[in-house]
């Protein structure tokens, strides 16, 4: 019984993280790219560099979400997710550190997300893959 609940929690974690990555990528590229452009412009990143940053970041997010759903090399995917979050956090901190104090927590939410990724990482060899 306990193993079954562990597997269910593992699947829920995988699906939650995949949703987060895919939806964030789609939002960055399709639903609201102007937010990314505005943030980049505040760091004097415009033109083709801004285009590349918005679309590459969105594509990376989608790839990470889809990778999670494949159950292929899940631990490596978890490492890639944490590295991506660390990079995004560093960039956003340099561009505008006030995001740490934003009431919706665009940076502070990274801490519980990383904990969830660590759960998936540590559970990936203990549970059946999704």
pLDDT at 4: 86
- CA dist 80 and 70 (Å) reads 15
- Other Cβ atoms less than 10 A from the Cβ of 60: the count is 18
pTM exceeds cut of 0.85: yes
- What confidence category does residue 130 fall into, taking pLDDT thresholds of 50, 70 and 90? very low
Residue 129 or 21, more confident: 21
**Helix H or strand E segment including 103:** none
pLDDT at 1: 46
Share of the chain above pLDDT 70, in %: 94
pLDDT of residue 3 exceeding 90, the answer is: no
DSSP 7-26: HHHHHHHHHHHHHHHHHHHH
pLDDT at 127: 58
**Residue 103 buriedness (CB in 10 A; 0-12 / 13-18 / 19+):** exposed
- CA dist 78 and 17 (Å) reads 10
- CA dist 64 and 59 (Å) reads 9
Task: Report the mean per-residue pLDDT for the chain.
Answer: 93
DSSP label of 99: G
pLDDT at 128: 53
pLDDT in tens, 54-111: 999 999 999 999 999 999 999 999 999 999 999 999 999 999 999 999 999 999 999 9
């Amino acid at each position: 019984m306990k193993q079954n609940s562990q597997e269910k929690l593992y699947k829920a974690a995988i699906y939650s993280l995949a949703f987060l990555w895919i939806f964030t990528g789609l939002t960055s590229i399709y639903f609201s790219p102007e937010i990314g452009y505005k943030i980049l412009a505040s760091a004097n990143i415009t033109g083709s560099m801004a285009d590349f940053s918005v679309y590459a970041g969105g594509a990376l997010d989608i790839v990470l979400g889809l990778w999670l759903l494949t159950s292929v090399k899940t631990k490596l995917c978890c490492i890639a997710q944490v590295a991506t979050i660390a990079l995004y956090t560093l960039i956003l901190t340099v561009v505008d550190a006030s995001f740490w104090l934003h009431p919706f927590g665009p940076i502070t939410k990274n801490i519980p997300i990383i904990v969830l990724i660590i759960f998936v990482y540590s559970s990936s060899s203990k549970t059946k893959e999704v």
